[in-house]
A and B are shown apart, each in its own frame.
Chain A
Amino acid sequence: MATEAKRLPGSLRNNPALDLWIGIETDGTVTVRSGKIEIGQGLKTAAMQVAAEELDVNLSRVRIKTADTGETADENVTSGSRSMEVSATALRFAAAECRGIMLKMAAEKLGVPVESLSVEDGAIRSSESNQQVTYWDLMGGRKFGRDATAAFPPKPPQAHRVVGTRVPRVDLPAKVFGAPAFIEDLRLPGMLHGRIVRPRHQGAALKSVDTAAAEKIPGVVKVLRDGDFLGVVAETEIAAIRARDALATNARWSAGEPLPDEDHLFEWMMSQDTVEYGCVDGVHTDEPPPDTEPPADAKATLEQIYAKPFILHGTMGPSCAVAEWKGGKLIVHTQSQGVFPLRRALKNVFRMEEDDIRCIHMEGAGVYGHSGADDVALDAALLSRAVDGRPVRIQWMRDDEHCWEPFGTAMVTKVRASLGPDNRVADWRFDVWSNHHGNRPKPKSTESGLLAARMIENGLPPQSLGPAKDAEAGEHRNAWPGYDFPQINVAKHFIKAHPFRCSSLRGLGAFANVFAIEQMMDELAHAAGEDPVTFRLAHMSDPRARFALEAARDAIGWGKADKVPGRGHGIAYARYKNTAAYCAVAVDVEVNEETGAITVLRAACAGDAGEAIAPDGIANQLEGGVIQSVSWTLKERVRFTPGEITSVDWESYPILTFREAPEVETVVLNRPGEKFLGVGEASQGPTAAAIANAVFAAIGVRLRELPFTPERVRKMIQEARRG
C-alpha cells in the first residue's frame, strides 16, 4: 500500500482522501478545497478551473475553501511557485476520479454501460436511455469516503474547455467593490484591538518600561509585559495605537550588537566566517569545489563581483491576525502562508496539543514570501490569552513591519568565466556568499521560528540557521547556470554571522544569482564581439529555453533600439530553479547621465509555464514580477546605522511609484499537455540583469551593485569617464 500511495500525483501523495479535495453539496454546488492559499496570484480561480474542467460542471457552481487546519489538506506552505504543480495536479486527479466514481454510480442506477455516459454541467446522460441523473442527486450530500487511486486519467488537453481560458479572478469583485475581503476586515463579536511595541534593533532587550501613561488612556484594557515582549490591548483600535505610542516613549531597550557598516556591507560579508559547500550538476554537496585555474588556451577570462543588499518584502498591509481562546482551545485567523506549520509552531510555544489549535487562513495583502504573518499570529494569541481569551485583532504598524519582517538576505556573487578560442564559454566558476533564506517556522519543539517566542519568559530560542541543502533551495537557487558549459564549479559560502533575521523572499537566491549570471553572459558576449542574444543561443540546447529568449527578443524589437544617446535595450533569461518556468525579459531603458536616473520605459516578458491553466494569471505573475524587480533593482536597500534599522517607512525605504513604472508586455507560451511549471517568481532575476545590460548598451557603464540609485549611477558614470 505504501508504495502505491507514493505514486499518487502532487499533494495527493500525502493527502489521498478525496473528500479533502472535492465535495458534492446538496444545493447543486461543488466545493473545491486546497491547502494552498490565495495571495493575489489567482490560486483560487485556477484551482476552480481545474476542478470544473475535470468534473464537467460550470464554473459558476464551484465554490472554494482554502487552507484551514480544521478542513483542508495539509499542503504545508504556499511557496516556491509550486501551487499549480502540487495542488492543481492533486485537484485535477481527484476531480477526474470523483467524476469517474459518480459515472459508475450513475451507470448502475440507470442500468446502462459507463461508456454510454456523458456529463454536462453535472448532469449525467446516457446515449442508450432518456434518463439522466445529476451529481447532486447521486451523492445526496454524502462524502466519497475513500482515498484517491489516480486510476482515472484526466482529460487530454484538446478536450479542455475551461482550463487554458481567461476567466475573471473570483476574488477580485469583493476587492473592487469594498466588501470584506481581507483578514484586516474581520470583526468578531467582542473583539478587542492589540498593538505590539518593539525596538528598532532586532537584538535589543527590554530594560524597563513605565506603563502608567499607556494605562491611563481611556479604552486600554491591558498592558502586557512578558520578558522582552510588550503589547497592549484596548477597546478601540485608536486607543491601542495611542497606548503603543505611549509605551514606546517610555520603554528603554538595551543596545544590540553593532550592525555592520551599510556602505561596506559586501566587503563585510566576504570577510566573515563561512561554512563552505559546493554543488555538482546542480545538486548540493558538502564538499566545496576545487580551486581551478582558467584554461590555458582561454581567449579571455572575466572576473566580476555582483551584489544585492538586504531588501524588504514590504507588504502594503502590515501583518495582521485575530486570535481567541475558547475553553483552552486556540483559534487563530491568519494570513500565514502555511497554516499547518503555524499550528505546529504555536503548539510548541504554548506547549499544548496540536488538535486544540485551529489556524484558519484569510487573505491578506501580498507578501511575496515569509513576512510577519506568522509572528503576528503568536502576538495576537499572547495578547488574547492576557485578556481571558477574548478575540484580539492585531495589525502591525508600518515601522513594525519594516523593522521586524524577516528581510530578504543580502548576497554577493563572484563569477569567473573564460572564453575558449571558439568564443564559447570554456570554464565557469561561481561563488556565492549569503545569509539564510528559508526561515519559516519549523516543527522542532525546542526552538521557534516565531518572533515573540524568543521574547517571552519561558519561551523558546530562535530556530537554528544553516545553509540550504535541498536542490535549488536558498542561496543555491539558480546558482547553477542553465547553459551548456563544458566546465562548471559552484561554491557556496554560508555566512555564520547574521545581523538580521531573514527569510524566504520571492525567488530566494535566484534573484541575485540570475542577476550575476545574466550580466556576466552579457559581458562575455561583448568580449566575444557577439550579439548578446546570439551568444546566449549558442549555449542553449533546450528548445523551450531558446523559444522564450527569442519571444522576448522579438517583443521588445531587439536591434531596433532608438539610436538615441542614453537609450538601450537589454535582455536576460533564466529557467526558474532550473526546473520550473522558462522566462526571458527584455527592457528598453533611458539613462539620464547628468542625474544618474534610470527609467525603464518598456519591458517585454516571455514565459513558458508548461500547460497554462489561467493564462492571464500567468501573465499577471510575470508582469508583477517584472515591475517588482524594477523596484528592487532601481531603488531598494534596507538602511541601518550601527545601532538601529533606519528603513522604517516608505520614505526611508522607497519603492517604485506609478510615475516610474514601465508598461509591460507579456507573452505567455502555452504548452497544452506539458507539466505545470511554477511561474510566480520567474521574471525577477532576468529583469534585474536585463536592466543592467540595457544600461550598458545605453551608456557603456556596468552596474554590478544593487540598487541602481541615481547617486550610485552618477558615481559609476564619473568613474568610467575618468577611465
Chain B
Amino acid sequence: MSEQFKLTINGKSHTVSADADTPLLYVLRNDVGLVSPKYGCGQEQCGACNVLIDGEKAFSCSVSVKDAAGKQVTTLEGLGTPEQPHPIQAAFIAEQAAQCGYCTSGLIIATKALLDKNPNPDMDAIRVGLQDNLCRCGAHSRVFRAVRRAARELAG
C-alpha cells in the first residue's frame, strides 16, 4: 500500500509515495535522486548507506521512510559542493583518502557525526567513530589522516 510521506532532505521538502516500510535508502536513491548513499549490505554492517537523521548517523538501509518522515535528513549532497566544499570533503580530497570511493559517502557522513560531537577527537575516538563503516580497498590510513585534517580545519 503506497502512502505519501513528507521528507526534509538537505533542507528541502520532498513528498514521496512509497510503502511505509520501504527503507529510506531506496527512496533517496530512486525517488529523490540522491545517489550518494550506497547499498552495501542492507543489515547495518557496512555503513555505505549512512545519512544523518536529525544530526545523528543512521543506516538508511534500515530506517523506513515512515520513520524518517518529519525529520531532517542530510546526505553527502547536502554537505558541500565542489565550489564550496565542506571542510570534511575538502580534507578527503586533500588526503586523496579513497580508492574505489564506494564507502566514501558513508565515511564522510560518519566523520561529520563524529566531529559534530567531538571536534577534537584523539585516534581512539576516531577509530570508534568510524567503527561501523567498512572499507575494502584499505584506505583506512588515509581516512585517518583526512579526519585529523578536517578536525584541524574546522577548529580554524
Contacts and interface: CB of A to CB of B under 8 A. Distances in A.
Interface of A: 39-41, 168-169, 171-173, 175-178, 180-182, 184-185, 187, 218, 236-238, 314-318, 363-366, 368, 395, 397-398, 616, 620, 623-628, 631, 649-651, 655-659, 661-664
Contact of B135 (A168, A316, A662): A316
A650 B98 contact: no
Shortest 8 CB-CB contacts between residues of A and residues of B: A627-B138, A40-B100, A175-B101, A178-B36, A366-B100, A624-B138, A40-B99, A365-B102
Contacts of A661: 127, 138, 140-141, 144
Interface in B10-41: 18-19, 22-23, 26, 29-30, 34-36, 38-41
A659 B110 CA distance: 14
Nearest to B140: A661
A176 B92 contact: yes
Interface in B60-102: 75-77, 80-82, 85, 89, 92-93, 96, 98-102
B31 to A, nearest CB: 9
Contacts of B151: none
Contacts of A168: 93, 96
Contact of B82 (A173, A180, A317, A651): A173
Contacts of B26: 236-238
B138 A316 contact: no
A309 B76 CA distance: 38
A166 to B, nearest CB: 8
B99 A184 contact: no
Contacts of B30: 187, 236-237
A658 B77 contact: no
A628 B138 contact: yes
Nearest to A317: B102
Given A182-B102, A184-B35, A238-B23, A398 B140 contact: no
Contact of B136 (A173, A180, A365): A365
Given A41-B99, A182-B102, A620 B142 contact: yes
Interface of B: 2, 18-19, 22-23, 26, 29-30, 34-36, 38-43, 45-46, 48, 75-77, 80-82, 85, 89, 92-93, 96, 98-105, 108, 126-128, 130-131, 133-144
Given A366-B137, A398-B40, A628-B138, 9 more contacts: A172-B92, A177-B89, A218-B2, A236-B30, A623-B141, A628-B136, A631-B138, A649-B45, A656-B140
Contact of B108 (A41, A176, A317): A176
Nearest to B108: A176
B100 A658 contact: no
A238 B24 CA distance: 10
Main secondary structure of the interface of A (DSSP, over half): loop
A175 B144 contact: no
B137 A659 contact: no
A627 B139 CA distance: 8
Contacts of A236: 26, 30
B79 to A, nearest CB: 8
Nearest to A193: B30
B76 A658 contact: no
A208 to B, nearest CB: 27
A664 B141 contact: yes
26 contacts: A39-B100, A40-B99, A40-B101, A168-B93, A171-B101, A175-B105, A176-B76, A177-B82, A178-B75, A178-B77, A236-B26, A236-B30, A316-B46, A316-B135, A317-B39, A364-B102, A365-B102, A368-B136, A624-B138, A627-B138, A628-B136, A631-B138, A649-B45, A657-B131, A658-B131, A658-B144
Nearest to B131: A659
Contacts of B18: 238
Contacts of A649: 41, 43, 45
B128 A659 contact: yes
A365 B98 CA distance: 11
